[in-house]
Amino acid sequence: MKTSIKNVVVSFFLFGSIALLTSCQKDAMTSENLQYASVLSVSADGTTAVIEANLKSALIETSGLTDSELASLLKMKQEEKLARDVYSVLSQKWGSQVFSNISKAEDNHLNAITLLLTNYGSTEITIGEAGVFADAAVQTLYNDLVTKANVSIEEAFKTGALIEEMDINDLNESLVNTTNANVLLVFDNLLKGSRNHLRAFNRQLTTLGIVYTPVFISQADYDQIASSPMEKGKQYKMQGKGNGQGNGKGQKGQGNKGNGTCSN
């Protein structure tokens, strides 16, 4: 009888120790996972926005921007503004939710670039009036794109695809010519966003029975993008400030803070 009671007591404490250890391991894993999050929020229709709080948390200490990197950021700032402004006009013209959603996403991308410029002390963060560009060539391009897209909804979706493939081409070139980790992070995620938006416009064109011929990227690259699923983005270390898994609704990460229950 005494032996049986002893066995029960030992089993009880052994079970309790295992349960506590498992709980500690689970808490540690959860804490570790909450340190990482995506900087992208991707909707079912392909609309892709940057989660600015996560982007801020993912940035690391680096050396200053080179002249080439600064030029690339300023160029992409103009292209994101161009996309936003064109889509905004087309949203009002055609009443398409696709243009409305992606225009808002492009405004978000624009904010991501100005955030990075501000991070490096650049004063060239002014956005300016919608549809107005200081660069004469960009102004001409904007005017031409709006004029063409106002002809029909088919031409409007083609214009959307054209803008996105132009962004894809320029972002790919910029990624090759930079070594700054923060610039690489921003451009890589904007590139994913442009590919997702291209997929969204291709979906609209396909629904209308239109086969789109790319201008700035190869047909093979276009086909590969169009036939692949929406991209969600990878996870980055958030320094305990992330917002979950990139859907804007996750739990806030708390780093590796202890809870007073477990010890290593």
254: Cβ–Cβ under 8 A, 6 or more apart, which residues?
Answer: 31, 34, 240
Q: Is the model's pLDDT at 92 over the cut of 70? A: yes
pLDDT band at residue 233 under the 50/70/90 scheme: confident
pLDDT per residue as tens digits for the range 133-158: 999 999 999 999 999 999 999 999 99
Q: Which whole number is the average pLDDT over 74-82? A: 98
209 conformational bin, left if phi > 0, alpha if psi -120 to 50, beta if neither:
left
Is 220 part of a structural domain of the chain? Answer: yes
* CA distances (Å), origin 98, targets 21, 80, 89, 224, 236: 50, 16, 12, 22, 29
Of 17-26, 200-209, 228-237, the one with minimum mean pLDDT is: 17-26
Is 181 part of a structural domain of the chain? Answer: yes
Q: Is the model's pLDDT at 201 over the cut of 60? A: yes
Q: Is the pTM of this model over 0.75?
A: yes
Of 8-22, 74-88, 120-134, the one with minimum mean pLDDT is: 8-22
pLDDT of 240 reads 52
Is 249 part of a structural domain of the chain? Answer: no
Is 179 part of a structural domain of the chain? Answer: yes
pLDDT of 239 reads 76
Is 108 part of a structural domain of the chain? Answer: yes
**Which residue from 258, 172, 254, 181 is spatially nearest to 216, judged by alpha carbons?**
172
End-to-end distance of the chain based on CA atoms, in angstroms?
Answer: 38
> How far apart are alpha carbons 113 and 171 in whole angstroms?
13
What residue numbers bound the domain in which 144 lies? 36-237
Is 19 part of a structural domain of the chain? Answer: no
pLDDT band at residue 197 under the 50/70/90 scheme: very high
Q: Is the model's pLDDT at 199 over the cut of 50? A: yes
pLDDT of 73 reads 97
User: What is the tally of structural domains in the chain?
Assistant: 1
Neighbours of 135 (CB within 10 A): 13
pLDDT of 245 reads 41
pLDDT per residue as tens digits for the range 5-61: 444 444 444 444 444 444 444 443 344 555 899 999 999 999 999 999 999 999 999
Q: Which two tokens stand for residue 100?
A: 């409305």
Check which CATH number belongs to the domain holding 41 and give it: 1.20.1260.10
pLDDT per residue as tens digits for the range 160-184: 999 999 999 999 999 999 999 999 9
Is 242 part of a structural domain of the chain? Answer: no
Of 16-30, 98-112, 245-259, the one with minimum mean pLDDT is: 245-259
> How far apart are alpha carbons 137 and 143 in whole angstroms?
10
Is 203 part of a structural domain of the chain? Answer: yes
